[in-house]
Amino acid sequence: FSVGNRTAAVRIPQYATSEETKRIEFRPPDATSNIYFCLVAQLLAGLDGIERGMESGGYGPIDEDVHKWPEEKIKKLKALPASLDGALEGLKHDYEFLLRGEIFSQELIESWIEYKIKRELDPIRGMPHPYEFALCYDA
């Protein structure tokens, strides 16, 4: 997390000092996410962290440009998955917190993972990336 770095997953704007302007920004979701699933999952993850007494230590604040860090230091950063494949793999192994309150069911989560793999990941796995064309045909 960070108080000023816009690239951090969780940002607490440092300029927001009054009660009316103070806020927390959670930045990872993108426009391709299912907003309804996403918001509920974020809330359940937060509640799970609070109930388990998880601390934010080791996650920040990081108010430096991490892109200027040496490679060894960057490797020590805890990061979110960089791909849909990585996110689904993480979800397969850690979704018990999503079952709280019977909002999501195990069947729904497993079906969602299967759908995303069959309809989104598998179709592009066998296709060359445009950069591969550039590497091979522009040589």
Q: What's the pLDDT tens digit per position in 60-75?
A: 777 777 888 899 988 8
Regarding pTM above 0.85, the answer is: no
Mean confidence (pLDDT) of the chain: 87
CA distances from 52 to 47, 49, 90, 97 (A): 9, 5, 19, 11
Helices (H), 23-121: 35-51, 71-75, 84-93, 106-116
Of 17-26, 34-43, 97-106, 123-132, which one has max mean pLDDT?
Answer: 97-106
The reported pLDDT for the residue numbered 89 is 96
Q: Is the pLDDT score of 92 beyond 90?
A: yes
- Cα-based distances in Å from 40 to 84, 100, 138: 19, 11, 46
Question: Which residue type sits at 69?
Answer: W
